[in-house]
Structures are given as structure tokens and as C-alpha cells.
């Protein structure tokens, strides 16, 4: 794993230098959109729907669409006036009972690794959270925007999980559940019997993503069966010896043109 952020956990007068690592990774098979006939990748151009012209990346701004279809254009100077933080501190706000944090509030997970010189205060915080059965509510600035998060312990390591804001959780509004409906005692007894029959401990290794496994096997079979369309390069077609620096320079110019930038 590679650290994606460096900072320190601060609680009281204690400061614990740490490094942040993503705790999860995506194993989904990644696809590209290609031309069915020859396997060539599909390219997209940034075209303005008002003037029909291709727009360079430097000329693109952020726009907020109003309810009546109007557009408010914002530039860098507008965002410069917004509150932002670049602090490298994970500040503990309070320690709360672990069972008060609904899992729905939690978002992304990160591992916290202490510097070698900070192992002792790190272990102190870890052991205190475990023994008191509490989580630490913290504030942290990631990519200049402050967010709330919790610190908890998992497998002997402090994990930070960012939280979503209160107004980002939807309230369920299902009219079918508005009526005063409750299960009968006989129904509850039968449900309890079924639950008891299927009761057990959660073992993550008992589950696997059968779709991803089958999809990877399908791709592997096609590769091993020779169903791979090799890209055609101009150098191979011409048979000429191409100067490396000239080829690199040409590639740079083509990349700029594809992004709508002016050639140098």
C-alpha cells in the first residue's frame, strides 16, 4: 500500500503523526468503449451545445444549472472565496459510544499508520478506544474540504471512516408502511424459528463475487484463445525507422490536439 496523505491525530495535548492508506480497493473488471469491428478505442470530444465548437480544457468552467434551466458560471476566483482548509491535522472533537454511530453515516475507510516515533501514543489511543468501547469523532481536511469522520479500532489498527453530512441521508417515505401494521404472535414465532435455523457467525471468506470470477474467466479464455485484436501502429505500417525524440514530440502534439489545446 502507498500512503495517500500524511498528518497527525490530535487529542488534548497529544499529537500522533500518522500516514493514511486506503483500506479498500476495487476489484471490478474495467472495460473501455471500443469499435466492435476493429477494437479501436472510442474517443470523445468536448463540444459546446450552444456554438457547436470544440472546447479546449482551459476554457471549461463549472456551471450550476437552476431549476428553470438557467446556468450560473463559476470560475476559480469564485471558489477562492469559499471556506477551505488545508490542515494536516485530524482533530478529535469528542469520544462517543460506539453503538451511537449508525453505519449509514459512514463513507470511505482508511488505515492510520503511526510514525515509528509515535507508536506509543498511537497504541494509547487505540487501547483507550477499545477498552472504553468508544469512537472518536474527528474533523479532517481532505482535498481542501473539511469533513467529519470517526476513528475506531479494527484488527489492532486505528481506522478512520469519513462521514456523510446529515442532510445527505434521505428520509424514507413509503405510504404502504404508514398504516399501523404489526406481525401476529404466530408469525413472529415462525420467523424466530427460521432465524434460529439460519443463525450463525459472519465469516467473510464464505462469500465471493461469482459474477466477477466468471467475468475474469471469460476474458482469460478469450485471451488464451487468441481473440485479441492487436493495435495497428503507423511505424509498423510504414516500415521506416522513426527517431525516438521525433516520435515522442509527435505524440505530445497529437495528445494536445485531442484535448483541444494549441500545438507548441
Angle at 57 (CA atoms; ends 49, 72), nearest 5 degrees: 55
Q: Mean of the per-residue pLDDT values for the chain? A: 85
- Per-residue pLDDT of 7-43, as tens digits, reads 999 988 888 999 999 999 888 888 889 888 888 888 8
Q: What is the pLDDT of residue 36?
A: 87
What separation in angstroms does the CA of 211 have from each of 154, 202, 216, 220?
29, 21, 9, 14
The answer, yes or no, to whether residue 92 has pLDDT greater than 90, is yes
pLDDT > 70 in the chain, percent: 85
Contact 171, 160 (CB under 8 A): no
What separation in angstroms does the CA of 259 have from each of 49, 52, 56?
17, 16, 6
Q: What is the mean pLDDT of residues 96-106?
A: 94
Q: What is the pLDDT of residue 237?
A: 43
Q: What is the pLDDT of residue 138?
A: 95
- Per-residue pLDDT of 208-255, as tens digits, reads 888 888 888 888 888 888 888 776 654 444 444 445 556 556 665 666
The answer, yes or no, to whether residue 91 has pLDDT greater than 70, is yes
Q: What residue has cell string 424459528? A: 193
Q: What is the pLDDT of residue 235?
A: 44
Q: What is the pLDDT of residue 242?
A: 45
pTM check: above 0.85: no
- Per-residue pLDDT of 136-148, as tens digits, reads 999 998 777 789 9
pLDDT > 90 in the chain, percent: 46
Amino acid at each position: 500500500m502507498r500512503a495517500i496523505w500524511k498528518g497527525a491525530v490530535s487529542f488534548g495535548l497529544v499529537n500522533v503523526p500518522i500516514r493514511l492508506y486506503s483500506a479498500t480497493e476495487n476489484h471490478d473488471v474495467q472495460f473501455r468503449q471500443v469499435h466492435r469491428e476493429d477494437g479501436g478505442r472510442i474517443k470523445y470530444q468536448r463540444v459546446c451545445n450552444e456554438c457547436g465548437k470544440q472546447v479546449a480544457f482551459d476554457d471549461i468552467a463549472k456551471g450550476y444549472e437552476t431549476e428553470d434551466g438557467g446556468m450560473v458560471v463559476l470560475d476559480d476566483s469564485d471558489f477562492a472565496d469559499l471556506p477551505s482548509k488545508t490542515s494536516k491535522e485530524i482533530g478529535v472533537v469528542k469520544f462517543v459510544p460506539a453503538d451511537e454511530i449508525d453505519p449509514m453515516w459512514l463513507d470511505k475507510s482508511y488505515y492510520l499508520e503511526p510514525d515509528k516515533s509515535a507508536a506509543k501514543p498511537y497504541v494509547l489511543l487505540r487501547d483507550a478506544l477499545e477498552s472504553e468501547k468508544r469512537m472518536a469523532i474527528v474533523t479532517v481536511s481532505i482535498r481542501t474540504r473539511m469533513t467529519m469522520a470517526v476513528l475506531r479500532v479494527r484488527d489492532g489498527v486505528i481506522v478512520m471512516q469519513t462521514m456523510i453530512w446529515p442532510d445527505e441521508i434521505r428520509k424514507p417515505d413509503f405510504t404502504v408502511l404508514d398504516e399501523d401494521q404489526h406481525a401476529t404472535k404466530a408469525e413472529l414465532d415462525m420467523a424466530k424459528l427460521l432465524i434460529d435455523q439460519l443463525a450463525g457467525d459472519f465469516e467473510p471468506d464464505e462469500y465471493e463475487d461469482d459474477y466477477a470470477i466468471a467475468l475474469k474467466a471469460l476474458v482469460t479464455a478469450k485471451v488464451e484463445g487468441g481473440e485479441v485484436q492487436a493495435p495497428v501502429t503507423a511505424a509498423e505500417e510504414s516500415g521506416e525507422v522513426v527517431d525516438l525524440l521525433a516520435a515522442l514530440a509527435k505524440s505530445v502534439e497529437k495528445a494536445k490536439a485531442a484535448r483541444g489545446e494549441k500545438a507548441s
